[in-house]
Structure 1
């Protein structure tokens, strides 16, 4: 445990006691009275506290905007941990707290309505939760990652904002309702999924449950993979082309169809989905199962250069000594998804803000120590093409006298396979699409396998669900509509562990439309390592009830 972790835990524990953990009950404050002076919380500035009338599906509620720990950074810029807290009317509160995980490099406060991720509809606020969100400690917007020059801003973004905002938000909830939440949950996808996994390690005493979807819990390593991918894609480009130009949509469609031709029926039914991921990875080969062009590239073949580039991408980033720098990636029909193409081929060297999550921006400013501060005028393409897998990649684990925490320390969960506090009091659901182009599902699978190896009872408090075909947080040819908050509530509050969760298609998704799937298609998502298999003698292949997890 590093120094930052221990300090945060002491502060959080102390504030829980101050919030009423010792039986003290403050006067219940009206929304307008949730001010800096009346709350009396150290280092808190409340900018506004206003009643919001019911509108559309959102109920009437109190909205508090504020900031914690205002300061000037080493770069001379102002910093604070901004947040928004929305609390239903006292008569409508369900007694629970919801932390809405962030996204990308944060930098702005997303309305704290309680994004339920892949749920078909609704928000946590609509379900009666008190909901909080944060900007991660900098309000620079998602297109400015220069906050990475300031070491405290790095730590706030990595973990401290979650811990600080949680304890202050709970104190405000206590002042609003006269009691602490009976249950507390954190849900997020991508960087928000990383928030959930970090919190399950650092702040497990603050929450009862977490949903981490497509989590970037090894985000600095995934950023290295983005630089690697750009270099590989560029190796297949011809003069004047960008990396994305070397792989038109027809090329990725060909790969997806080739995967289906080899793997679709391995799970017992030919339905445009690959459930038997392990068997598919053993059966499918880019080299032998995708036609090779004898001349110019066309829609029915890949050139040798394209094949080599894809093999290197899916094999994972490596240094010059062939040592792995990040996980490999499963080949999945979801590579034809629009979301896959955007993140893997466009976002890494697109105009801001899209290159800031795992491209040159975040890699150079936030994850490199000391910061590289790359020139992003070209979308970061030049920086990525010149990125050294030997020297530059090593900067994610480096420290200096100024930057005392490396990127791996402030971004990743400490001891992710030793979740003793979580085991004692909470539950963690991790969800990952098998065609995620940003964070490798193989990395998440490796983490869960290691957790199980370290603790044979891990499935009693942590479970992993893989979503065949799903891209980053959603999209792709997949059944990507499912309600994991409901599954988490049942596990925490009723003791019903999720063995399978029903998932349906988003019939309006272009990838589902292109695959010509019926709008009623549903499947069970199975707790890893089980997978959905068609029941014997069943003929309806569009209903989740026709499948079982085994």
Structure 2
């Protein structure tokens, strides 16, 4: 029997509408466009769809020319909320012509409210990485059930709260897989999730509520305790820093509570005590478990000068590293990790901001206080002032949302582990909002429920990222390909014993530096010889 021609295959695909040969090398642009546009007529429950074909190179995002693909956007469960506003679960799905059989759900972040680029994280060799869409992944993202970007006033609607907690992500995953099957004639061979911050929380949520959906989940800096712990810490840290801020025209100026020079003093003390604990002084603290610093060593003995910190400044910083407590002394959340990247812009943006007026612009005061007022308090309290947080009573107002939103409590993941799912945690040691101590605590609890860290590493691993602020930046090698490592783990059984990470070529402290990211509790130790800038000179070592 003769082999069908490419034209015959393409015609057959078009006639079958969205048959299994969709996305093959034999698809010409015209047929691919027809198949794409037909997706807008796909029956997806309670969902309206649009589908637009984007030819190879026709769209550029972040200086990357996207490959030929079908852009599908949808709205599920459109309705009017109790606040009179329009709501829907919005999603964006990119379906490449050259599909590799994999599905990737890109997590959101912050208060969600937008769809993002939906091109995936960078994958491939360090120095030559490109967005996952370019490697053939079908990729979806969602707005979490509301629009409006960083604003959290959607929290006045009870259904929007549930959508943002879990329902929007459930519906989007199901819809995306249905549309993938419609486009290619089959569902994905393997499904993955990757997200940071709120996206990390969403990934954890899938392993708990919907354990059958994904084969591998990457949870970077997960906001696992955001509505019951991290937001309390944000209010606590904000209060402590505001209390020591200089007063100008009758108002404290938060950004001046600690100058950049003050933060460099503290960072220098941390480096002095802890930098060389991994075998080399290189401006990073790899062996964070052994790092112990008393910032009181920097306290001025007299008037404040450029070479010391005031007693108030030392006290405030100690409070940040210790973590929030109520008046009874009960700890309400983990403190921050002592990492020298407290002198970096990413740390300042969250804690102090840059505003020189009486109106602070730190993320504690904008993003976190907004989420607290509208979503994390039940009922919402739109007029709540961040500095009025009561550490004895206000945490009780956060319990209801925490019960459906936070993901720190389930430390067994029995169903996810039983079906062979893999879970990868990553966390920056200098994260100023979600403490890496909290993720370490969760991982230790998870490991204890699975026979210890040695046994738990068969399905779950945690990688500390020295010097990284929230999700990226800092004194860090913060460029890495966790997705390919996860794919190799799931599909080839090759567990990631280390992740190769790099600093960018424009990093102000160590351009192009590479380091291994090691599975906890190991850390990257210098071998004693070799180029200090090269990951090959470091070995993942048990403490």
TM-score between the two structures when normalised by the length of structure 1: 0.86
Instruction: Tell me how far apart the structure 2 counterparts of residues 487 and 307 of structure 1 sit (CA, whole Å).
Output: 41
Residue 44 (1) aligns with residue 55 (2): no
Q: Does 1:95 align with 2:101?
A: yes
Unaligned stretches of 5+ residues in structure 2 = 1-17, 23-33, 58-63
Measured in 2, the distance between the counterparts of 1:138 and 1:427 equals: 30
Contact 1:145/1:356, CA 8 A, preserved across alignment: no
- The secondary structure found in structure 2 opposite 1:40 is coil
Secondary structure of 1:346's aligned partner? coil
- Residue pair 1:99, 1:187 contacting (<8 A) in 2 also: yes
**Residue in 2 that maps onto 1:304:** 311
Pick from 229, 246, 251: which aligns with 2:257?
Answer: 246
Does the 8 Å CA contact 1:107/1:135 hold for their aligned counterparts?
Answer: yes
Contact in 2 for aligned 1:466/1:526 (Cα 8 Å)? yes
1:422 lines up with 2:416 in the alignment? yes
Separation of aligned partners in 2, 1:507 and 1:124: 21
Mapped contact 1:202–1:414 kept (Cα < 8 A): no
CA spacing shift, 1:354–1:50, aligned 2, 3 Å: farther
2:330 is paired with a residue whose SS is: coil
Quickly say closer, same or farther: Cα 1:293–1:151, change in 2 above 3 A. Answer: farther
Do structure 1's residue 443 and structure 2's residue 438 form an aligned pair?
yes
Write out per-residue CA displacement over residues 248-271 of structure 1, whole angstroms, 9 at most, x where no aligned residue: 111111100011111111111111
Q: 2:389 aligns with which of 387, 390, 406?
A: 387
Cα distance between partner residues in 2 of 1:126 and 1:54? 10
Q: What is the aligned counterpart of 1:478 among 476, 479, 493? A: 476
Q: Counterpart of 1:34 in 2: which secondary structure?
A: helix
Contact 1:208 1:492 in 2 (8 A): yes
Q: Residue 106 of structure 1 is aligned with which of 112, 119, 125?
A: 112
Aligned residues: 494
- Residue 522 of structure 2: aligned partner: 530
Query: TM-score scaled by structure 2?
Result: 0.87
SS of residue in 1 equivalent to 2:469: coil
Q: Does 1:286 align with 2:286?
A: no
Q: What corresponds to 2:25 in structure 1?
A: none
1:374 matches 2:369: no
Separation in 2 of the partners of 1:313 and 1:67? 42
Aligned partner of 1:78 in structure 2 is: 86
Of structures 1 and 2, the larger Rg is shown by: 2
Moved more, 115-124 or 526-535: 115-124
Structure 2 residue aligned with 1:31: 36
SS at structure 1 position matched to 2:272: helix
TM-aligned CA deviation for residue 355 of structure 1: 4.5
CA–CA distance in structure 2, aligned partners of residues 338 and 505 of structure 1: 16
2:345 counterpart residue number: 338
2:5 is matched with: none
What is the CA distance between 1:111 and its match in structure 2?
2.3
CA distance in 2, matches of 1:414, 1:316: 17
Are the equivalent residues in 1 in contact too, given 2:351–2:364 (CA < 8 A)? no
Is the contact between residue 299 and residue 311 of structure 2 (CA under 8 Å) also seen in structure 1?
no
Aligned-residue CA RMSD (Å) = 2.1
Q: CA deviation at 1:386?
A: 0.9
User: In 2, Cα distance between the equivalents of 1:88 and 1:103?
Assistant: 25
Q: CA deviation at 1:503?
A: 1.1
User: How far off is 1:139 after superposition?
Assistant: 1.1
Residues of 1 paired with 2:134 and 2:530: CA distance? 39
Kept in 2: contact 1:93–1:129 (CA 8 A)? yes
Contact 2:353 2:361 in 1 (8 A): no
User: Kindly tell me: are residues 350 and 152 of structure 1, through their superposed partners in 2, closer, same or farther at Cα, counting changes over 3 Å?
Assistant: farther
Residues 361 and 374 in structure 1, CA contact (< 8 A), matched pair in contact too: no
Distance change in 2, residues 1:117/1:258 (3 Å): farther
The equivalent residue for 1:410 is: 404
Match of 1:12 in 2: none
Does residue 208 of the first structure (1) align with residue 180 of the second (2)?
Answer: no
Q: Secondary structure at 1:357's aligned position in 2?
A: helix
